[in-house]
Structures are given as structure tokens and as C-alpha cells.
Chain A
């Protein structure tokens, strides 16, 4: 109970302090302290949940003040503030979408008279996974932001620092995420949902230039649309089932009455928040924000709220046509996002498309809905959050180091920024290759999609595309410049410690997959009653799939492969030292090499002229370019969602 209050309110308190205290050193101390307290809270929740046997229900009846009313009032204030933003930006659409939520919300509260659930908070293992992600990755990113924002404001020549406001929003954001994943009351979840929408708007618009405001407006419009779907679902559920408890919805007979429609609307809300096609544009636009914001949006907060909702509801639509269509939406986003990522040369955009694709895969797994698939979905939520959090921090650091986020400019980064480059590469490998976790979940996704050919082919083609864009990028970073001297890299302490910490997190999650699975995910999926005969087991150094007779039908001892990888990693310094500088030769060019400088890429052509050799990556824009694919993929994705609603309404 206390931990609960701390988890939600402490970030809010830190937020306030960060805002009020204008002195940077004092603020930094507060940020570091809140970071440590949030780690502690995550630890407390973990031990509480283990002791309580997998579920903590918290009743708020009998408190001196009625929290339900406070939430309601805050909800109204929030919507009024959004309408104010709409007026300020002169965007009538924002005003319209917010009013369309404000008015039904008030009417619903006043006239419907639906009883709010007595147990306001229910925390199970899925919530715990999210709490851990939010309360560990979120604060690390805030620590990174200390160093990053200083540099950022230095570049943008601000007179008055806007950091107090920045950290205010960041911490409110984290508190709202914690609330969102713990509450059992749909109305409260809706409130936290809208808080994250508002926070993301404010953060994207943080730099205050025309582009960032334009993109922030797009983000809030799309997310308000999702919020509308959320509210519509609440009203339907409230009127038809007379409950607002998430638990009751999961236990209800899913084919009954209006519930499928409500579930469809909730999934739609999840799609907007998780930037599924055709709603992907807001997340791509969010790139204009300072890098810590992107890292936060992409890893532990915001987009994870969407997939959390869909995964949470997965048992309710398991085995229905709706479930299959949700899988198709996710699968389609996975393949479309991965394909477009091939054509991108802007590092952050590649990361963004990869996020969209991976969220698609999570939603796809939730839609498939077998034990194996839901296990894969939760695993991917974890692995994606740590890896992508790390990668965004890396790209941010690289951008401040070399002044560009273009992949082509990252040639030879190993020599320019050795520390960051190595961490970045391992982060990317963890997104792409075995034995790391993300690949493991891709493998689980394929093995659980075998009975849905359409979804299957999308995942397979999508994963072929992922190899392309990651391999190209890793190759560029690892390109060794010609000279042998090493430069040391100067990074601020906060940046360096945040990077190292996230990096260790990535390694620990993948190497420790067996205990991770057994302690957090196995108890969650075995508690579900899904009615399929597959099981996911961890042990013997890996993950195994078994059927009803306990016969293993698939599996992989991932830990063994780490040993092979370890040998390779140890081999790198050995060979680096063993290669004597005099045995290093320039590469072969189409003639005599002219100079042995950094580029080493000039040669004498047959006409006795000095020619420079320039190589760039293939981007295959003619086949996979944004302008070629975006329109069509959006149309197809829109059609799939319409089909989804067509089906649930007929049901």
C-alpha cells in the first residue's frame, strides 16, 4: 500500500521538486535520489508479489478521502487543459477530439451510475514486469538526461534553462505509467492513459520550434483519437456489463453481447498508442524531441502502455476471430515497419521503425494468444525495452559526439568513440542475432504462428527485412578507419554511467533468460486459462516448447551459445594486440593507393588522375522507400482494422 503510493506519487513529488528548484546541482541530486528510490520500490514490489503468491489486490475503501473523486476531478482538469492547448495552437481538431471525450465522460459519470470496482489496484506478474521496466529503465534515462540536456541546451543557446519543466514532465510521465499498469479500474487506467498522452505532447514540443510543435500536434491528435476509442469502450462496458473492473472483463464470457466491440475499441486505443500502422506517423515525428524523450517513449513508457493493454486483454479475446485479426494487424505492422526501415538512412528513424515493428510483433503474439505466444509477447516487451532504451541513448550520445544522426556519417565510429560504438554494436546485435532475447522471441513468435499461415508469412518476411537494416548499420559502425591510433572519448559521468548500466541490463536479461522467465513470466502465463495445449518451459540452459504430453517439440539452449559468443569477445582484444602495425596494409583499390591518411581511399586511375572511392550502403529506396510504401501500407492496415470492427459488430 505504501509502496503503491510511493510508486505513483514519488515521481510526481520529484517532478514538483525538479520544477521548483532552479539550481542544477540540487536538481541533479533529486533526480539521482528518486532514481534510487524508484529502484527500491521496484524491489519492494517484486518481493511483495513473490510473498503474496502472484497477486496483490489493494482495496481503497475506508480511506479518509475518496480517491475516486480526486481522479475524476483531475481527469476533467486534464481534458480542459487539452482543450486549452487546442485553442492556444488554434487547432480545432484537438478541441473537437477533447470535447468529444469531456462531454461523454461527464455524462457517463453523472447518469450511468456504474459502481467502480472495490479493489482499485490489482498487481500481478504482468504488472510487475511493467513496473520493473518503468521504474528501472525510466530513472536510468532521467540520469542520462542530466548530462544530455546540459549539452543539448548548450547547443541551442537558451537564456533560461527549461530543464526544470523537462524533468517535471518526465517524472509525471513515469508516475502515470506506474499507475496505469497497476490499476484495476478502467476509468483510472483511462486517466493515466490520457496523462501519458499529454506528457508525450509536452515532451515532443519541448524544443518549441515549428517542427516540434507540428509533430507534437500530430501525436496528440492520434492519441486523442485512441483515447476516444478507450472512453467509448468504457462506456459500452459500463452500460452493458455494469462493471469497470479489468478483472471482471477478463473473466467474462467473451462472446457475450457488446463485449467484443468494447475489446476491439480497447485494442484500437492500444494500436494508436503503440503506433501501429496506420497510426505510426506520430512516433516517427516524435524524433524531433531531445533523445532522452525518444528513449523514454520507445522503451519503457508510452508505446509500452499500448502493448500492455493489448497483452493484458489477450486472454479475453483468445481464440476468437478478433484475436486472429489483432494478430494480423500486429504482423502486418511488423513486416511493413521492417521493410520501410531498410530504406532509412537516418539512424533515429531506423530505430523508430524497428520499434514500431517490434511492437507489432508483441501485438501479433498477443493476438495469437497461446501460452507460448503470450510468453513471447511479455519476453519481447522486456527485451525490446532494454535494448531499445540503450540504443536510443547510444544514438543520442553519437549525435552529440559527431554532430549527425545519419548512418553514413557513423563510418569508423569504433575509432572515434570506441566506448559508445562497442556498446551500440552489442545493443544492435542484441536486437538481431541469437542467442540474445529479441531473436529468441522472434523464434517463439514463428513457432507459435504456425497455424495461422497469413500471420506466419508476415513474420517471416519481416524478420528477413530486419536482418538487412541492422546488418547494414552495424557494418558501418564497425568499419575500421585506416590509422591505428586510438582516441579516448570524453563523456559526462551521467551519460557514461547510464549507458553502462543499460548495457549490463541488456546482457543480464539475455544471459539470465532462464531465471527471468521462471520468476516473472512462467507464473503469469500458467495462471491464465487459455485452453490450448502448448507450454513454454525454461530450464537446462534454455527455453523449450512442450505440448500436452510434455513432449518437447522445439527449444534452444541459448545459454550454451553465449559461451561461443564469449570466446569470440575474448578473442577481439587478443587479435587487436597481436596484429602488428607493420602488417596492416591499405585496402585494394582500382589502382595505386595515393596516400595513407584516414580515408585511405584515393587511388591513381588508369588516366593518371587521382580518384576517390566512395562507398555507401544500399538503401533500396526504389523498392522499400517511404514514399513508395507508406500510402499503401496505411491503406491496407486501415482496411484490416475496418475488417476487425466489421467482424466484432456482426458478432
Chain B
């Protein structure tokens, strides 16, 4: 952005605040997720702050690695997720945000592929397919936003007169659909799994341990906040409505997670390309003709 010095200072402060606050929100959300999921399964469930306890415990664990480079990939995952979140709060280019987010994801895939464990490798391959499934929908969402606001800058969404949802209902549905993939929730949880007792062990993260796993966990929180932020964009004005809707969407994701069983990659690719791209494209064509 073309920015003045004063605005630059504000931006830096905003970025720093985001870096500090986002993990708290994300951790809290995933704590609530675990609690509610447990209740849905008739369990009592862990305390809401359990994710934080987990991370602290992981940080204190012995530093074991399968190779010397794993930590770098974990940090790559973290840094670029944070970078894309900062792009969101600084209201930068939405399309580039998606690409930076993709970098973050590619980094964790590389980390999983850098070890010679079959579980981790298969998880990585599946994660690549997941990326291939949701990436087009994310990009189409950006195009939809452009056709509505005539700009790629997130800034313009806030100056736009009405909520995006009026113009982009189908794009929103497609986004919610791929959100399940992005959050690696059931039925699309096949690159990693909630339990270490499945065919894939923990897939993508099988060979990460201790502090590395802590970094990955924290990145998940940033990512979660980012994705919730993207939902908020659809209802940007007033902001609290957007946040409320984002929470409702997250609740829906939890329900879906708990009531569905894993599908195959072919099914996912077909479903997300036909339903996701189909819905988003339909929406975009009508915007284009309007």
C-alpha cells in the first residue's frame, strides 16, 4: 500500500497486536471445540484451556528429531501463516494472501516429506491433494470479491456499501464447504487424523514431536483465526455480526466433524471441484453478467 509514516507506525502496532492476540483466540477456540466435541460424544472433555497446557508441555519436552531440518519447516509453516494473517488485518491484497497461505501449507508438507516415514509421506501426499481441492475455490472467492467491490484489496470490502453476502451467497457456501477441508476436519481429515490409532497414525504430523509439534499447534491457532477472519469478511458491517456468524460456522464445522466419516481423495476432489467450483463459478458468472 502507498502509506505515510504515521500509517506505517499504526500498521506496525496493529501487526504486533495481532501476533500476540491471535494465538489466544485460536487456542481458546480450539479448546471450546474440544469441549463441545466431547459433549457431543457424551464425554466430559478436557478443560477449555487444555490446548495451552498441551503446548506448554510440548515445549518442555526433550528435543528429539528424525532429521535436522524439521524445525525449519515447522517455522516456515508458522511464519507464513502469521504473514497472511497480518496481510488480513492490514487489509492487503486478498489474492496474494491466499498465495502466502499456500506457502505456509507447502512448508508443512515439505516437513512431512523430509522424513522417511511412510505415514508422514502419505499424509503429505494427501495434504497436497487437499490443497489441490480447495485452492481453486479460495481463488474464485477472491475473484467474487473483486467483481463485487472492483478491488482486490481487503480494504475495499470495508468501504463497500453492503455486506458481501448479498452478492456472493454461493461463493460463501463454497467457502464453508472447503473450510472443512482446510481445517482438516472429518469427512476430509485424511491427511492427518484426530486419533493416532488409524491407518495413517497422525499422517502429516506423525514424525513431529516436542517443540516442533508445539510450533505446528500454534500455527493451527493462527490459521483458525485467519479462516474465521475470512468468514467475517462476508459480513464486514457491522463487525460483531460477522464475528457471530463466524462462530456459528465454526460450530457447524464441529457438528459436521462429529457426524461424518472419512471419504476418499477421489470423492473429495470431485466433490470440491464440482460442488465448490461449480457453486462459486455460478455466482461469478451472474456477477459478471450483472
Contact = CB atoms under 8 A, between A and B. Distances in A.
B72 A584 contact: no
Interface in B182-221: 201, 206-207
B102 interface: yes
Interface in A264-318: none
A481 B102 CA distance: 26
B143 A464 contact: no
Given A567-B79, A583-B65, A587-B117, A453 B136 contact: no
B61 to A, nearest CB: 11
A122 B50 CA distance: 70
Interface string B132-168: 1001100110110011001111001000000000000
Interface string B91-113: 01101100110110010011011
A593 B245 CA distance: 49
A551 B2 CA distance: 10
A460 B141 CA distance: 11
B37 interface: no
A463 B139 contact: yes
B115 to A, nearest CB: 5
A564 B99 contact: no
B206 A479 contact: no
B135 A467 contact: yes
B71 A575 contact: yes
A586 B120 CA distance: 13
Contact of B72 (A446, A545, A564, A571): A571
Interface string A156-173: 000000000000000000
A568 B120 contact: no
A561 B86 CA distance: 12
A282 B110 CA distance: 33
A564 B104 CA distance: 12
A177 interface: no
Interface in A478-495: 478-482, 484
Contacts of A113: none
Given A467-B106, A576-B69, A553 B150 contact: yes
Interface in B219-271: 266, 269
A268 B116 CA distance: 47
Contacts of B40: none
B49 interface: no
Given A450-B143, A589-B117, A554 B152 contact: yes
Contact of B284 (A446, A453, A474): A453
A455 to B, nearest CB: 11
Interface stretch (B18-26, B27-35, B121-129): B121-129
A446 B3 CA distance: 25
A618 B129 contact: yes
Interface residue tally on B, bucketed by range: 35 or more
Contact of B63 (A434, A583, A614): A583
B62 interface: yes
B129 A475 contact: no
A479 B146 contact: no
B145 to A, nearest CB: 10
A631 interface: no
Contacts of B136: 457, 460-461, 464
Contacts of B150: 547, 553
B282 to A, nearest CB: 11
A583 B62 contact: yes
Contacts of B42: none
Contacts, number: 198
Contact of A587 (B116, B153, B285): B116
Contacts of A529: none
B106 A433 contact: yes
A504 interface: no
A460 B119 contact: no
A544 B146 CA distance: 15
Contact of B69 (A433, A447, A480): A480
B106 A453 contact: no
Contact of A480 (B68, B71, B121, B135): B68
Nearest to B97: A556
Nearest to B281: A457
Interface string A581-619: 001111111000000000111000000000001110110
A446 B109 contact: no
A540 interface: yes
Given A464-B135, A555-B1, A618-B125, A587 B79 contact: no
Given A478-B114, A552-B153, A553-B153, A446 B69 contact: no
B16 interface: no
B146 A450 contact: yes
B176 interface: no
Given A480-B115, A540-B3, A553-B156, A575 B129 contact: no
Interface string A415-434: 00000000000000000111
B2 A584 contact: no
Nearest to B131: A467
A601 B118 CA distance: 9
Given A475-B110, A615-B122, A585 B65 contact: yes
A594 B152 CA distance: 55
A554 B115 contact: no
A480 B67 contact: yes
B4 to A, nearest CB: 11
B153 A579 contact: no
B17 interface: no
A584 B207 CA distance: 11
A464 B65 contact: no
B75 interface: yes
Contacts of B100: 434, 561
Given A464-B132, A472-B125, A556-B92, A453 B285 contact: yes
A590 B95 CA distance: 42
Given A475-B109, A475-B113, A552-B153, A588 B119 contact: yes
Interface string A538-570: 001000110100011111110001001001100
A575 B110 contact: no
Contacts of B67: 480, 579, 584
A136 interface: no
Contacts of B96: 434, 443, 555-556
A561 B82 CA distance: 11
Contacts of B143: 446, 450, 456, 460
A386 B139 CA distance: 27
Contacts of A464: 131-132, 135-136, 139
Contacts of B3: 540
A613 B206 CA distance: 16
A471 interface: yes
A468 B128 contact: yes
A587 B120 contact: yes
A579 B116 contact: no
B116 A471 contact: no
Given A553-B146, A583-B63, A613-B118, 5 more contacts: A463-B139, A467-B135, A554-B93, A575-B68, A585-B65
5 contacts: A434-B96, A463-B139, A480-B67, A564-B80, A584-B64
What 9 pairs between A and B have smallest CB-CB spacing?
A475-B113, A587-B117, A554-B152, A480-B67, A553-B151, A464-B135, A556-B96, A579-B68, A615-B121
